[in-house]
Structure 1
Amino acid sequence: MKKIIFISFLLTASLSSFSQALETTPPEYIRTIQFQGNAQFSGTPIIALGETLTISFDDLIGDEADYYYTIEHYDFDWKPSNLAKNEYMEGFDNMRILNYKNSFNTLQIYSHYTLSIPNKNTRRLKVSGNYMLKVFNNDKELVFSRKFMVYEDIAIVKAEIKRSRNLKYIDTKQVVYFSVDGADRIIFRNPDQNLKTLIIQNNNLQNSIYNLKPQYSLGNELVYRYDQKAAFWGGNEYLEFDNKDVRAATMNVRSIQLKDIYNTYLFTDKNRSYDPYTYDPDINGQFKVNTIQGEDPTIEAEYTWVHFYLANYEKLNDGQIHIYGNFNNFNIDKSTRMIFNPKTEVYEGKRLFKQGFYNYKYVLVNPDKSINEGFNSGNFDETENQYTILAYYREIGGRYDRIIGVGSANSRNISN
């Protein structure tokens, strides 16, 4: 019987003290979860009502196990909403995932599963808001769960990125100014209580700002021009490696060895926090599966142990260094930890990755479980980051929180 080992914890930058429903991180035999809407890269999908949602994952046991899914609706604070299932979904869930294929010509066997919504059973999602997709095994044990959002295109959400007005942080933080305009399509009543907002940096829910209150209004447009309350650390561009070719070293790959499976050894990384900022285009922590040894990367890409090396001489103060990125939904677990090797005097770690192009960075996890993303890479106001703003609204007498608009801005266009 497959046992579910890890329960995730959300390390969320939140301005309110509500307790959120937690995503369940998968066991070690579930790998390469890709959850996406119409965007090119995986992450936390944010889709318009009626758009398609797709999730895929690999089971490294490769025994064609049966998996089932359910969909649950949540309010803004990630507590279950008061809606019955037939009020937010047309059709049925708790159905088996029927679309799967076995790996072909790979050293590591695996079964690749794909689920798209809508489908013949779950015909459509009827309302906007927060959702959780849960995947169960044949013993009705929860294997993993992932959040996603569905929005209605009603309100106009405009945003721009500014440098901090606090001179202490002017070179290290990025501030999100935004507004929510109901125009002539919706009239906001009691917006301090009924309108809620969420700001997400680089599609990472674990680094988000919740529930800012509007500062003032211009007609039916609500304006948010906070400084420190809407400020994010700028961070630095992500590091990257590309191991789509297991026969030769490629981007940031020092060497490759074939043991029981392929082992990929990266070049040693260093502390970047004292270096001047250098623009190096990244994909903001995301990843893309790829291989040049086959035609279908979903089933022909190899799994390889990727070995990381970090020369760090900063004191950890009882913290731990971890690799960080969307390859595991920005979670911290034992597979991401870096251990100091006194013989080489560098921190070393290894993790199993499917072939492809990956972004990653090194972060410090403090004893209180908070994450310091800039510990090893620094924080710079010039860093390219993508910000997404969601506006939630519950009408007077409403029974759930609708997402009525989504806006975005990129720090490439930062200004004073």
Structure 2
Amino acid sequence: MTKRFINLLFFLLIASLGWTQAIEVSPPDFIKTIQFKANTTQGQLPILRLGEPLELEFDALNANEEDFYYVIEHFDYDWTPSVLAKAEYLKGLDNQRILTYFNSFNTYQIYSHYKLQIPNLQTRALLKTGNYMISIYDDYGELMFSRKFMIYEDLVNVGVQVKRSRDVRVIAEKQSVDMVISTSQINFNNPLQTVKTVIIQNNNLNTAISGLSPQYTLGNQLIYRYDTETAFWGGNEYLFFETKDVRAANVGVQFIDLQDIYHSYLFTNQSRKNNPYTYNPDINGNFQITAIDRTDLDIEADYTMVHFSLLLPKIEGKDVHVYGNFNAFAIEPLTQMRYNSEKGIYECIMRLKQGFYNYKYVTVDQTTGVLDEGAVSGNFWETENNYKVLVYYRDLGFRYDRIIGYGEATSIDISN
């Protein structure tokens, strides 16, 4: 009995007892640049229409050409395991080896680039809508990392509008999301109990708002116009840098140095919390792999050691982290900054593939673990943010939560 099979049995056991809620597992240091592609923008949260292909890619930097295996699980809207048997939501087999990989070419950093596309010969289709998680294991059955994705079908129209907060205490710092769900295909049965929504800001599931019931029902329209419950901190535009040319300083890069691999030293940033808001176009925390004079970015883009620095007095009782979708907005040791008392700055070094990256600095309370996205960057109602809304429905007699609609809006046209 393989270790991977034992891990799966243990997962299914605790799931059946109701002890678990799905949490994404961050990869070890030698696995980098995890991306979902197919129809979704590179680096973003994958929300796919039923029947669309899913493509997952990542790099392994240990030069071992290891074998990796994938497992797919289905979850309800609150990320607790659904009661569906695997054959009900998956046609074919999972727990299969990822067959497609290529070794890097003409790079200082040696790595293998892995590609998984679904459907494939083993996993022919995902049959149900809802929440999913894909987990990647090595040949010894050790869990390397896991990522969430969602599949929906278009059965309802989801109108989304972004407003300034209706709470005058935070009117300059928060944004509120109004929604109208309408359909001619479904007669909602007891929508207060059967319809659930999830609102996601900038593809970050960690800050998503869920569990809200419609305030009003008008025919086959469900209306959500909350004062505070759908409000998000506005945040600030993301900082960014580009390393498409490892031999020259690009946007956001002060200077470079060649050691074992290239090192990119970013300009030192400062706190923007007490500064006036300034519009600066960003890609809402995401990243894009890019490199000049390269034909195949998957295997020809190199890795650089990126040096972050933040001019800020030491904050007692709180850790400072580099934050962005380059690691699915995870707070982990690799993103934590160290305070250099001689220079009076926070510093962090990360190994990242050539590309264009958004990032910001956040604080985490050492006692409570509470994350504050605005502690360094500030919060402004004018900030351009992206909002996605998923609509879940479990009709009478159904055994799982379907995703029946998807809507999207940005705050670029925010109104009062």
Q: TM-score, length-normalised on structure 2?
A: 0.94
Corresponding residue of 1:25: 26
**1:310 shift after superposition:** 0.4
> Which residue matches 2:383?
383
Tell me, in whole angstroms, the C-alpha distance in 2 between the residues paired with 1:405 and 1:77.
16
What corresponds to 1:3 in structure 2?
Answer: none
Q: How far apart are 1:91 and its partner, in Å? A: 1.2
Q: 1:32 to 1:151 in 2, by over 3 A?
A: same
Output the CA distance in 2 between the equivalents of 1:248 and 1:273: 31
8 Å Cα contact 2:21/2:81 also seen in 1:
no
Cα distance in 2 for residues equivalent to 1:163 and 1:66 = 50
The Cα shift of 1:37 comes to 4.1
Answer whether contact 1:19 1:77 (CA < 8 A) is retained: no
Superposed, which structure 2 residues align to 1:3-402 within 5 Å? Answer: 20-181=21-182, 183-313=183-313, 316-367=315-366, 368-402=368-402
For the residue of structure 1 that corresponds to 2:229, the secondary structure is helix
For the 8 Å contact 1:37–1:46, the answer to whether it is kept is no
Give the deviation of 1:312 after TM superposition.
Answer: 1.1
Q: 8 Å contact 1:293–1:301 — kept in the other structure?
A: no
Distance 2:297 2:184 in 1: 47
Q: Distance in 2 between matches of 1:92 and 1:81?
A: 18
Structure 1 moving runs of 4+ over 2 Å: none
CA distance in structure 1 between the partners assigned to 2:79 and 2:233 by the alignment: 25
Taking the aligned partners of 1:262 and 1:106, their CA distance within structure 2 comes to: 10
Tell me by how many angstroms 1:164 deviates.
1.0
RMSD of equivalent CA atoms: 1.5
Letter in 2 for 1:187: N
Distance 2:402 2:40 in 1: 22
Identity fraction in percent: 54
Deviations 1:190-237 (A, max 9, x none): 111111110000001011101111111110111110011000000000
Is the contact made by 1:189 and 1:395 (CA closer than 8 Å) also made in structure 2? yes
Structure 1 residue 155: deviation in Å? 0.9
Letter in 1 for 2:305: W
Any idea what SS the aligned residue of 2:326 has?
helix
Gaps of 5+ in 2: 1-18
How far is the alpha carbon of 1:394 from its aligned partner?
0.4
Q: Give the partner amino acid of 2:223.
A: V
Q: Which residue of 2 aligns with 1:14?
A: none
CA distance in 1, matches of 2:357, 2:30: 20
Unmatched runs of 5 consecutive residues or more in structure 1: 1-17
The count of corresponding residues between Structure 1 and Structure 2 is 399
Measure, in 1, the Cα distance between the counterparts of 2:294 and 2:387.
35
